[in-house]
Structure 1
Amino acid sequence: MTRLTRSSYVKIALIVLLALLLFAVAGVGSMRGCSQGIYFGGGTEMGNASVDANGVKNLSVSWAAGSVDISVVDDGAGDVIELVETAPTGLTKAQQMRWSVSGGTLKVDYGSWWSCFALGQKRLEVRIPERYAKSLGTVTVDGASGYYRVAGIGCDTLRFKLASGEIDADGLAAASLDVDVASGQVRAEGSFSERVSTKTASGQLDVVCQGVAPRQVDSDLASGQVSVALPADTGFTAKVSKASGSFSSAFETMQQGGSYVHGDGSTAIKVHLASGGFRVEKA
């Protein structure tokens, strides 16, 4: 049997390392630290755009690093949603964001994995005329890291998903608010009439409910801190299950078994704590 020489072992090691590198590169597109999913389907476009707002009911933004600003502009801007992308060093064609409109959903993606490594951070501005921004269906913001600002949006369902970084959102109006935070900080302020749902691995999450209280609040904490502020005249029943952590309330409550009741008890609050803390605040 022929023995491998030292140079053969070196060659084999280099081949293995190259294979691992190619595997990593192929998998980068699915990593939350860079690309959030690239749209290769028909109709995908690249770079800055003015999108016909009449064909858009839902908005989905996936971003890797830098910042996103979703704002409402005066109707005088016309019937278009503006997508404006900038970077500190300018952008080549290959480094530009991807976007598409399909089935009434405008999808905006950070772009290729190479853009994430080459640029690190890009800024996206989404400008929506007021008459369209107040009556959207589902709005989703999925962030890997960076700073995300959302203001003045009205929709049926609003979803925030954050790996790390910060989301700052106000002037919102949605039937349902869903927030999923791995780490970082989120503050959401507005009217949420039906449901507020939060899932937190760590970090800080603050929801301020204005005007009316949601019918239901669900919160699942692995760690970190969550507060939900309710209008002062809200009655609620909070059912709390915990392995560790704490529940507290700015409202006076009566404890009934594992539940805390205030007023007429109409808003149903369900909290599961592995650790960390949940607090009911007054808006």
Structure 2
Amino acid sequence: MKTHKALKIAALSCVAVFAIGVLAFGLATGFGIRDLLGFWRDTEQNGSYDTPYTYTESLEYLDELAIDWAAGPVTLSLYDGDDVTVTETAQRALKEDEKLSLEIDGGKLTVRWNSAWLNLGVSGGDSKRLEVQVPRALAGDLSRISVYTASGTLQTADFAAREISLKTVSGGIEASNLSAGRLALNSTSGTIRGEGLEGTERLEAGNVSGKTALAGVRAGTLKISSTSGTIEAEGAAASADCGSVSGAVSLTMQTWAEETAISTVSGGVTLRGPETEAGFTCRYSTVSGDMTCGFNVKQSGSEYIAGKGEAAVSITTTSGDAELGPIQ
């Protein structure tokens, strides 16, 4: 009897601790347990967005912008107005605590999904579209931009900051003409598309199963990773590191990086670069894959040397084939 009672008390204690944890999470983020467990759905196609709510904020300066959004597409853009304009468009009329929350703390503006004390989930009809317009005059001195949305597509262009972070779960990311010291784009299953992206220190893109396609990138360090999604990237960097498990990797370097490393398990690898006098030295390591090389090289075992062999290239696969060739 005493043992049964002790087990019951222990079980109730665990439930209480879990409930307190959920409560703390909800208070801190405004997200509910279904969000925490990843049970939200991509609801963009479930209904039309026809009920808009618009808010404006007049700010003397803007140092940091943060957006946390649970479900629905997010668009962040610049415009020639004077005030920060925020518009959420819902699929139905919203209750007061279902409307977004705007928080201003010094030079930081935070846009949150809603002002509810504890949100226990997001259903299909609760998806909201968010549009944030920032005056160009305010955007010149941004130190950080962070945008998170669970299931909606995230679109943004033409921003510059010391640090930019864009993150989704199942929603895609569409970014163009962004410049930052450190620029990061991450998704779990959404497609990441970027053009004209610059990370003077580091440009990073991470995905699990979604495709990553980047064009015109410029980076100090370029790092792209995926599990099963394909990687396609083109641009220039001081160093480049691309890796996937089963997804194919295609990398085109307009100028050879000092160091380039590409690794896959079963995915194929394509690496293209310029034909230069400085050239490169490529070391290819594989268990059962094959290498095809379109450069005029000196080959010694698994080492391929073009020109003076200055740039260091490493390609590693388990069973994936590799193709090394000049830019078409």
Q: Counterpart in 2 of 1:217? A: 222
Q: 1:169 to 1:275 in 2, by over 3 A?
A: farther
Distance 2:106 2:306 in 1: 44
Structure 1 regions of 5+ residues with no counterpart?
2-15, 35-46
Tell me, in whole angstroms, the C-alpha distance in 2 between the residues paired with 1:61 and 1:279: 41
Name the CA shift for 1:146/1:110 in 2 (closer, same or farther; >3 Å): same
**Is residue 256 from structure 1 mapped to residue 283 from structure 2 by the alignment?**
yes
Which segment drifts farther, 169-178 or 180-189?
169-178
Task: Report the Cα offset of residue 244 of structure 1.
Answer: 3.5
8 Å Cα contact 1:223-1:274 kept in structure 2 = no
Does residue 201 (structure 1) correspond to residue 208 (structure 2)? The answer is yes
1:234 to 230, 255, 259: 255
| 1:244-275: CA deviation from partner (whole Å, max 9, x where unpaired) | 42332232564135699999999999999899
Structure 2 segments unaligned to the other structure (5+ residues): 2-11, 24-32, 41-52, 237-252, 275-279, 286-302
CA distance in 1 between counterparts of 2:305 and 2:201 reads 19
CA 1:270/1:69 → structure 2, altered by over 3 Å: closer, same or farther? farther
Task: Give the alignment of 1:22-33 within 5 angstroms.
Answer: 27-28=33-34, 30-33=36-39
- Output aligned runs, 1:1-283, within 5 Å: 27-28=33-34, 30-33=36-39, 48-74=54-80, 77-78=81-82, 80-111=83-114, 112=116, 113=119, 116-117=122-123, 119-192=125-198, 193-210=200-217, 213-230=218-235, 233-236=254-257, 237-251=259-273, 254-256=281-283
The alignment partner of 2:180 has SS state of: strand
**Aligned-residue offset at 1:235:** 1.9
SS of 1:94 mapped into structure 2? helix
Q: Could you tell me how far apart the structure 2 residues matched to 1:277 and 1:72 are?
A: 44
TM-score (norm 1): 0.71
Distance 1:160 1:206 in 2: 15
Report the structure number with the largest CA radius of gyration. 2
Deviations, residues 197-223 of structure 1 (Å, cap 9, x unaligned): 12221111122235xx31111223222
* Alpha-carbon separation, structure 2, partners of 1:64 and 1:145: 7
2:122 match: secondary structure: helix
Corresponding letter in the other structure for 1:204:
K
Q: CA deviation at 1:127?
A: 0.5
Cα root mean square deviation, aligned: 4.1
Q: Which runs of 4+ in 1 moved over 4 A?
A: 22-26, 31-34, 257-282
State the Cα distance separating 1:134 from its structure 2 match. 3.9
